[in-house]
Structures are given as structure tokens and as C-alpha cells.
């Protein structure tokens, strides 16, 4: 039996306060329970406590492309099966090209995220993606 929609937790990791507010509002309006964090350490702790159904992760943290947190989620057996939507102001191709240059294991040993959305996300696109990924889990 699927949980009630308003109990489905979505972990949001973004250091931009305006984007956190936007994502929280969109997710709440879609009937989800957003769990908002602004950095990697906090998000790992909250993920362990809250056990989200899905993670929305800003890949551009502190002005640089940062996949360390994504790798942490994918390598930890507690989190590896949680779908991840990656957000970035950069195009998917640019981010993934850079990441493959930095870490040749990306896409092989470390799988690509379940979805990628460029910022700013359209509310409907984001909710459609969350709904699709939650339905699979």
C-alpha cells in the first residue's frame, strides 16, 4: 500500500534561500512534505533521520560543480536506492562532461542521477518528475 501523498518526504538540498523557498512551495502545493537543507552535512543527517522518498539536489554548491554529496548518497547503502533529481543552472551536458573529466567512474560505478532539471525549474515539470519517480519506488 502506497503512503498518503502528504507523508511522502522530499529532501531538498540547495544553498540558495530563494530556491529553497520556491522548491518547498512547489512541493507542498503538489501534496508532498519537503525536508529542506542547505548543505551536504545537514542533508546527510536529515536523510538518515527523515528517510525521504526522493532527493532534489543542487549540484552547484558554493559556486562550483560539486558531486561529492551525490557520490555520498549513491555509495551509502541507506540512500543508494532513493531517486535523485539533480538541479543546476548549467546544462546537463556541460555538468556531466565536467564530472566525467573529474571522475571517470561517473556513469559507470557511480550511476547518473535519475533526472536532471536546469534551473530555474518549471513548477509543473518538477512536480511531474517527482510524481513519476515516486511512483517507481
pLDDT 10s digit of each residue in the chain, 137 long?
Answer: 445 566 899 999 999 999 999 999 999 999 999 999 998 889 999 999 999 999 999 987 664 446 788 888 988 999 999 999 999 877 666 666 566 656 655 555 667 889 999 999 999 999 999 999 998 55
Q: Are 54 and 133 in contact (CB under 8 A)?
A: yes
If you classify domain 5-129 with CATH, what class do you get?
A: alpha beta
Round to whole Å and give the CA distance between 137 and 83: 8
**Per-domain boundaries in the chain:** 5-129
pTM equals: 0.85
Count CB neighbours of 30 within 10 A.
Answer: 18
- The residues pairing with 6 across neighbouring beta strands, listed in sequence order, are none
- Residue closest to 129 by CA, chosen among 5, 20, 16, 30: 30
CA gap 100, 12 in Å, rounded: 24
User: Contact, 109 vs 83, CB < 8 A?
Assistant: no
Hey, how many other C-beta atoms are within 10 angstroms of the C-beta on 46? 18
Amino acid at each position: 500500500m502506497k503512503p498518503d501523498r502528504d507523508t511522502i518526504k522530499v529532501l531538498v538540498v540547495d544553498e540558495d534561500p530563494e530556491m529553497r523557498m520556491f522548491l518547498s512551495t512547489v512541493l507542498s502545493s503538489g501534496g508532498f512534505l519537503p525536508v529542506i537543507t542547505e548543505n551536504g552535512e545537514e542533508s546527510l543527517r536529515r536523510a538518515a533521520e527523515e528517510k525521504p522518498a526522493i532527493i532534489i539536489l543542487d549540484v552547484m554548491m558554493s559556486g562550483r560543480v560539486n558531486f561529492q554529496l551525490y557520490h555520498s548518497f549513491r555509495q551509502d547503502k541507506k540512500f543508494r536506492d532513493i531517486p535523485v533529481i539533480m538541479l543546476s543552472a548549467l546544462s546537463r551536458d556541460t555538468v556531466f562532461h565536467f564530472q566525467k573529466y573529474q571522475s571517470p567512474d561517473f556513469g559507470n560505478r557511480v550511476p547518473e542521477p535519475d533526472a536532471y532539471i536546469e534551473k530555474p525549474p518549471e513548477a509543473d515539470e518538477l512536480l511531474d518528475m517527482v510524481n513519476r519517480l515516486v511512483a517507481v519506488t
